[in-house]
């Protein structure tokens, strides 16, 4: 079994739902896995030795760059940012979104293409809507996904 100190959970925190962060904090405590939340805006985090918070400068993709520069192949990244997920997966780390969906080499390119296509439509004035509101089923899916992934990663 791998030592949990070889693994770190990175959280792209600015847009991460509170319910997801609460699950991450409980998982961190239960499995003794360090967590680092990275955000442009200050946020309160539990005063636990395994939980750290890094506030980066305001600006587009500054938090993403910080995570990418510091993540290792043994880490898990929680992000809804598809370009960050693509770079993390390319680096060999594991990435999931706050709804529990795993980014893989097989699916992240397709998701990146779709994201770029939707951006082109929005730039042309097309209302593309957005994702549905984060709900209890999403919370449950995330909790199940992070448990499954960390169990595998800690073997």
Spatial CB neighbours of 93, under 8 Å, sequence gap ≥ 6: 71, 72, 73, 74, 75, 76, 77
83, exposed or middle or buried, with CB in 10 Å at 0-12, 13-18, 19+?
middle
The rounded distance, in Å, linking the Cα atoms of 128 and 46 is: 37
Does the pTM exceed 0.85? Answer: yes
Residues 29-78 have pLDDT tens digits of 999 999 999 999 999 999 999 999 999 999 888 999 999 999 999 999 99
Secondary structure (DSSP) of 66-77: HHHHH--TT-EE
In the chain, what are the domains?
4-153 (3.40.50)
């Amino acid at each position: 079994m791998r030592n949990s100190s070889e693994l770190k959970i990175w959280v792209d925190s600015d847009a991460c739902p509170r319910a997801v962060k609460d699950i991450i904090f409980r998982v961190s405590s239960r499995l003794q896995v360090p967590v680092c939340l990275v955000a442009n805006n200050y946020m309160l985090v539990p005063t636990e030795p395994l939980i750290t918070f890094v506030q980066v400068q305001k600006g587009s993709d500054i938090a993403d760059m910080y995570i990418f520069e510091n993540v290792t192949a043994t880490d898990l990244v929680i992000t809804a940012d598809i370009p960050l997920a693509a770079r993390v997966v390319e680096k060999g780390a594991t990435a999931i979104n706050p709804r529990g969906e795993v980014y893989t080499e097989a699916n992240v390119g397709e998701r990146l293409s779709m994201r770029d296509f939707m951006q082109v439509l929005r730039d042309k004035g097309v209302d593309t809507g957005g994702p549905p509101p984060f709900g209890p089923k999403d919370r449950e899916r995330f909790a199940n996904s992070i448990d499954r992934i960390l169990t595998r990663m800690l073997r």
